[in-house]
Amino acid sequence: ADHQKADWVSIHERICPLLIPIRTSLPCLLSEKERKHGMEQLVKRQKYIINLAYSTAQEFVLDGKHKEAIPAALQALRFSTEVYGSSSVQLVPAYLLLAEASTGVGHLPQASKYLSQAQWIVLRTPDCSVAVQCKLHRSLGLFCAAEGNFEQALYHLANDIYLASSTFGLKSIETSGGYFHMANVFFRQNKMDIANSLYAEV
């Protein structure tokens, strides 16, 4: 009952009416053109649910409501898998969001599994965008920091900054997030001079 309530509050209330046309199978006696149109509409609805579930989960994470974010992020992952397949790079954002939410509620082993899945997909995608690679390194850095593994956290955040700055520029908004999280790690290590310098850069 608790899980159902959490799921309902998180996302199900928003997507429930949208699930009916998706779960209704197409009639058999349709022409090829009608079948094709039906499939296009189905994919369109599924993509809408992916975006809605992902943005809802993201809002919860930004508000610090990590527990509420998990059901919504799981729906985003589920529908992304249906639309794009289980090894598509399109699944990475949902995995990273699930890892962040799981870390937020203290489920580090589960977060580690989600990050491993995301990392595996990125490694198997040679033409993976720099933006996705940055997000992956940032997520890995934040996870390592949550574990208290600061050296590994700094390694991943340095990769995030390198990739972001080489693509978007040293003074870009995309790069500033990496500096900020790196400053937080140095702050936790009590290296205040470096932390303050990085905060000033942000």
Q: How many domains does the chain have?
A: 2
Give the whole-angstrom CA distance, residue 124 versus residue 110: 22
In terms of average pLDDT, the best of 10-14, 45-49, 113-117, 123-127 is 113-117
> At 161, which CATH number?
1.25.40
Whether 103 and 138 share a structural domain: no
Please tell me whether residues 79 and 135 are part of one structural domain.
no
The pTM of this model reads: 0.83
Range of the domain at 46: 1-107
Is position 122 within any domain? no
Kindly report, residue by residue over 133-177, the tens digit of the pLDDT. 999 999 999 999 999 999 999 999 999 999 999 998 888 898 999
Specify whether 97 is located in the same domain as 150: no
Residue 12 lies in a domain: yes
Taking all residues of the chain, what is their mean pLDDT, rounded to a whole number?
Answer: 87
> Residues 29, 88: one domain?
yes
Cα(36)–Cα(177) distance, rounded to whole angstroms?
Answer: 43
Are 50 and 80 in contact, with CB atoms under 8 Å apart?
yes
